[in-house]
Amino acid sequence: MSATLQDVATLAGVSIKTVSNVVRGYQHVRPSTRARVQAAIDELGYVPHSIARRLATGTTGMVAFALPAIETPYFAELAALVSTEIGGFDYRLLIEQTSGSLDDERAVLRGREQGLIDGLIFQPTELDADAIEQFRGSTPLVLLGEIPPPPTVDHVMVDNIAAARAATFHLLHSGRTRIAFLGYAAAAGHATASLRAEGYLSALEDCGAHRSDDLLIPMQRFGAFAAEAAVIDAIETGVSFDGLVCFDDLAGIGAMKALARAGRVVPDDVGVVGWDDILMSNFTNPGLTTVRPDKPTLTRTAFRMLRERMDGAGGPGRHETVGFDLVVRGSTAS
Amino acid sequence: MSATLQDVATLAGVSIKTVSNVVRGYQHVRPSTRARVQAAIDELGYVPHSIARRLATGTTGMVAFALPAIETPYFAELAALVSTEIGGFDYRLLIEQTSGSLDDERAVLRGREQGLIDGLIFQPTELDADAIEQFRGSTPLVLLGEIPPPPTVDHVMVDNIAAARAATFHLLHSGRTRIAFLGYAAAAGHATASLRAEGYLSALEDCGAHRSDDLLIPMQRFGAFAAEAAVIDAIETGVSFDGLVCFDDLAGIGAMKALARAGRVVPDDVGVVGWDDILMSNFTNPGLTTVRPDKPTLTRTAFRMLRERMDGAGGPGRHETVGFDLVVRGSTAS
DNA sequence: TTGTACGCGTTATCAC
DNA sequence: GTGATAACGCGTACAA
């Protein structure tokens, strides 16, 4: 099998403590000793056994990112950023998919096993503040997304209401008068969808624009297929709109397909705004105007807060908001 | 801190061995004892400490998936499948991004630390058979993708030449005569790109179709942006083609954008075929015809082979091929 | 069926 | 500066 500290120590004629000191870069080791030990390490091809180290230190060097689904482009992009970010600090990334299921979210929060991870970055969709408070274990935790966080937990978010207002104003200011919202109450009590709808409604109100329940287009599930079906349905039932604020880019992309099939021209007949600025929004035809959350800052902030907690920082939950842009593309050209 | 086996044992008035037996579902435990122990477990909220267990057993319950970039839709979809698949066997997923860098691929293969993972599923892009042979450690390994694998390593792939031929024939049979290939030698010696180009060329030859170096459109990098730039460039330099076989769907999507900007109509002027059948290929306008590898079988096969190795199976490397479909959509309608 | 005692590979606390 | 030795929490012969 692989060489151990003891093997190296025997070969170098020192104690394992000295080998350990060399391996871990401890300063006060006589150069000649260090050289002898290093030679033994090289000869045996010794590699530290991380599990043993971790049992001894109580840390694992692993950070989990719990998200609904890794194949969702927005989360995949986030995961890539998190992976890169934490890699710079020698942490490794464990991916936990919750599928937006209550049970999985609970399991993730409780930590199926102790000692597996040093910290958790978690984007909940189902659990509310009380449940998070109740189920969370003792591992450092940072929440992502738009749920109202429990007062004890760190949290990073984008101002969804402000962003939804910006998206809606953008459509209104290009002269559109009947703006719909796609993705209303996609899941009962879905915090993100509710906030975005709220921002949308408040923008309509501020401008005195037309509001009606018709214009709140529900989606049965998330994703492009569900969005396409929802928009087809809305058109068939006679809902009339010339602007569409979508829950996310996938919804926007599904909506644009539905509109094309219905013979509605984007942006001439309908202006469409998405959310997330996933890569594909650059490549729809026309390009999809979208709310772009500052993803790099989002992940960097989350990991910074997590690191502070992992380093033992106490205190009440902190709450940070990161910015967004409205990226204007062809789907709302006027 | 958290409760340990010893805490539970003390509370239940038994030895830690008995508690361990209960926790691990050992059969021969007296029901009354089991009940008492279970009560203690519940009362203390005992959760096994995975690191300690793993130090004792020598296994980690973790499988790593090493891929170039998690935000690439194809890999994200694969990762989702792997995560679900291994979750059914109580393994957890560690994501390793290699960014297609030689150093990172080596590091992944060598395993930066011993004992962290039980097995590795690895999609190399840079390393060749010799290097893999040389750098691989002792952890069970299954390779994904199109590199010619070293004889000792398990490997799952799609028949890229056959699939590229099918894609090319599809365009030829709809009456197109000048078929180009996008993504040629995107990286020098890139195995996947080479195989696909090879299949493309052999199909042209079989049909006696026009072949020329012009029609091999190179890409500087992978991805939709690079593809868009490459196609714009090809059009500007006067390359004439009425069909386009793309390295992957991202390339196809980028190509369609470039064609639209150049005023070329898909599929009337140019038929486009992609590769991977990522979700977005359903939502381009028109939909993107694509080679769909059987991703569920791919990941299931890979993990089955890996499990067999983790269970101690020896023997030479096995080699499995999974199927593909050609999914015909609007981009090649005739 | 259950208990005792040792080993897994490392780190950390003391002595020396 | 370096060496014994006790944790870390759990699995497992072996014994009872």
In this structure, are A213 and A134 located in the same domain?
no
Is A332 inside any structural domain? Answer: no
Q: Is the pLDDT of residue B226 over 90?
A: yes
Residues B251 and B306 in one domain: no
Nearest CA in chain A to B62: A94
Q: Which pLDDT tens digit goes with each residue over A6-24?
A: 888 888 888 888 899 888 8
Within a domain: residue A328? no
B57: the nucleotide nearest its CA (via C1') is D11
Q: Report yes or no on B331 lying in a domain.
A: no
Residue at A30 is within a domain: yes
CA A316, CA A153: separation in Å to the nearest integer? 7
- Return the minimum-mean-pLDDT range out of A169-183, A239-253, B138-152, B201-215: B138-152
Whether B182 and B232 map to the same domain: the answer is yes
Residues of B in contact with A116 (CB under 8 A): 50-51, 92
Å: B61 CA to C5 C1': 27
Does A334 map to a domain?
A: no
Whether residue A301 sits in one domain with residue A152: yes
* Low-confidence winner among A226-235, A296-305, B58-67 (lowest mean pLDDT): B58-67
Measured between CA atoms, the residue of chain A closest to residue B111 is: A47
Kindly list the residues from chain A whose CB atom is less than 8 angstroms away from the CB atom of residue B285. Answer: 256-257, 260, 284-285
Distance B312 CA to D12 C1' (A): 20
Residue nearest to nucleotide D8 (CA to C1'): A56
Residue A29 covered by a domain: yes
> Residue A158 and residue A161: Cα distance in Å, rounded?
9
What digits encode the pLDDT tens for the residues B14-31? 888 899 988 888 888 888
A24: domain CATH number is 1.10.260.40
pTM score of the predicted model? 0.92
Rg (CA), chain B: 25
User: Which has more pLDDT, A59 or A182?
Assistant: A182
Domain shared by A194 and A122, yes or no: no
Last residue in a domain, options B23, B41, B57: B57
**D15 C1' to B119 CA distance, Å:** 37
Q: Are residues B269 and B299 in the same domain?
A: no
Nearest to A260 among B87, B97, B285 (CB): B285
Same-domain status, A282 and A187: yes
| Model pLDDT for residues B34-81, shown as the tens digit of each residue | 888 888 888 888 888 888 888 888 888 889 999 999 999 999 999 999
pLDDT of residue A104 exceeding 70, the answer is yes
User: Does residue A47 belong to any structural domain of this protein?
Assistant: yes
Which residue, chain included where needed, has tokens 């096994």?
A: B48
- Whether the pLDDT of residue A138 is over 90: the answer is no
Check whether residue A152 and residue A142 sit in a common domain.
yes
Report strand pairing: B92-97 vs B62-67: parallel
Same domain, B86 and B182: no
pLDDT attached to residue B1: 58
The residue among B98, B276, B285, B299 with the most chain A CBs within 10 A of its CB, best to mutate, is B285
B170 and B103 share one domain: no
- Quote the number of domains for chain A: 3
The Cα A249–Cα A274 span in angstroms is: 4
| Mean pLDDT rounded to a whole number for chain B | 91
Q: Are residues B283 and B302 in the same domain?
A: no
Q: Band of the pLDDT at B312, cuts 50, 70, 90?
A: confident
When pLDDT is cut at 50, 70 and 90, the band that residue B112 belongs to is low
Q: How far apart are CA A107 and CA A37, in angstroms?
A: 45
Residue A39 has pLDDT above 80, yes or no: yes
- Strands B243-246, B179-184: pairing is parallel
Whichever domain contains B78, its CATH number is 3.40.50.2300
Interface contact A49-B115, CB threshold 8 A: yes
Over range B93-107, report the average pLDDT.
Answer: 89
Average pLDDT for chain A: 91
A50 touches strand D (CB under 7 A): no
Give yes or no for CB of B59 within 7 Å of strand D: no
Is the Cβ pair A282, B69 closer than 8 Å?
Answer: no
In a domain, B330, yes or no: no
Domain that holds residue B37: 5-57
Span A184-217, pLDDT tens digits: 875 566 888 899 999 999 999 999 998 999 999 9
Instruction: Say how many C-beta atoms besides its own lie within 10 A of residue B57's C-beta.
Output: 10
Considering the domain architecture, whether residues B24 and B120 belong to the same structural domain is answered as: no
